[in-house]
Structure 1
Amino acid sequence: MRLVVAAHGTRQLLGNAVASIIAKRAGRVLGMESKAAYVELCEPLLTDVLADGQPSVVVPLLLSTGYHINVDLPQAAEGLPVTMGRALGPDPLLASAQVSRLVAAGASPGRPVVLVAAGSNDPSARADIASAGLMLATAWGGPVRVATVSGSGAPPVDEVVRPGDAVSPYLLAPGFFSDLVRSRSEAAGAEVVADVIGPHPDVVELVVRRASALLAQERSAQAG
């Protein structure tokens, strides 16, 4: 049995490296083979990795429910010895990692924060983004408003960010969307724009927990 973490993929090498780092660190904790794969834009593609037929637990590195979670990933695993997990977010461990990134960027705890997600037309993704905002507000101990880069699922960045705000990108890896978050937030007057969540220890811990739950599910199914 191996662990496969499934990221979206980007054309930026640094962005794709995030998934590889998370896979290696989580695999080390779990004591099992681990591999990063991508839905698109980067190799190895998830479909190619799973096609070898090796039994796998797949933990998606996708922060919200949407087309990839509902369609692409199930199709990639269809008919194969694969146990598939749900979207990585929302989760308090992600909120904890965001707090760490905000503090590292110089934001004072309790100041107004805008969580900026990529955005989606999927109603489930909208609910996930709203929940992520509430979790961040709890972890941060201050007001959090929600925006998206695309304006789908929440208002766009330039309608939400106010001068003096701190911005927390609800993005796992650097890439096209993170560049947009920074440029549009700064144009709207944001005083601090935190780094993306990245391979934070809390993210690795979350992947380990999800993988452990999938392994237990697999053992239970085999015993039954």
Structure 2
Amino acid sequence: MLAPPALLAISHGTSSESGAAAVAALVDAVAEAAPELRVRGGFVDVQQPDVPTVLGALPEGSGAVIVPLLLSAGFHVHVDLAEDAAAVDGAVVARALGPDDRLVALLARRLDEAGLDASDAVVLAAAGSTDARAVADCAETALRLGALLGREVAVGYISAARPRLSDAIAAARATHPGRRVVVASYLLAPGYFADLAADAGADIASAPLLAAGTPVAPELVAVVRDRYTAAR
């Protein structure tokens, strides 16, 4: 019987030690939840091994499903990872992790942990992308979070897209005078972007989905496994 394709959990990469540890913990949790699979981690940028190296280390003809540990599908998914997969027979790219209602539920839990109040205005902080498809994914996540919380959720971007997070926070203050503005950090792990989200001018910012010093959320593990299964 042929072995199933490997699951390559590919993240962006980070220079943050806490961020790298958080993503590594997610990869380990996926491997523990799926012992029948060869689970390997890799990176699009910053860290090693890169995707071609991970693919090249697999047994010839074994097949692989690249699961992007990215919250929206932008350039890295549609171009970088697609090109990497196209260069290797039997490799395919799965969907990005979001939008997904399980991630929305996790966002709501992180907001609750941060002390969200019923009167607070909420702004979703996303990394941002020059790819309109990624921006649309983030807007969809904000809509779903708003439906779950029972209030409008604006979106602000840390890089590449508009409105900038600081501008979205300022607009929320103007629209809801006297109310706190709370940032929902739609970021996978601690690091540079999470720090920028926390310092963008809101009263409170929630932790990223992989919160430092806490166990990996089962929702994230389940989404990664489902992306693998669907692409396989």
The two structures have a TM-score, normalised by structure 2, of 0.84
Matches within 5 A, 1:68-87: 68-80=76-88, 81-87=90-96
Q: CA RMSD in A?
A: 1.7
Unaligned runs of 5+ in 2: 174-178, 211-215
Picking from 58, 74, 79, the partner of 1:66 is 74
Matches within 5 A, 1:13-162: 13-31=17-35, 32-54=37-59, 55-80=63-88, 81-109=90-118, 111-150=120-159, 152-161=160-169, 162=173
Could you tell me how far apart the structure 2 residues matched to 1:211 and 1:174 are?
A: 24
Could you tell me how far apart the structure 1 residues matched to 2:107 and 2:147 are?
A: 12
Picking from 194, 208, 211, the partner of 1:196 is 208
Deviations 1:10-60 (A, max 9, x none): 111221223222222122222222121110101121221012244222110
How far is 1:110 from its partner?
6.4
- Indicate yes or no: 2:164 matched with 1:177: no
Tell me if the contact between 1:19 and 1:36 (Cα under 8 Å) persists in the aligned partners. no
How far is 1:167 from its partner?
0.6
| % identity of equivalent residues | 33
Residue in 1 that maps onto 2:176? none
Could you tell me how far apart the structure 2 residues matched to 1:131 and 1:104 are?
A: 23
How far is 1:109 from its partner?
4.9
Could you tell me how far apart the structure 2 residues matched to 1:49 and 1:109 are?
A: 46
How far is 1:66 from its partner?
1.4
The two structures have a TM-score, normalised by structure 1, of 0.87
Give the number of equivalent residue pairs.
210
Read off the aligned partner of 1:41 and give its amino acid letter: V
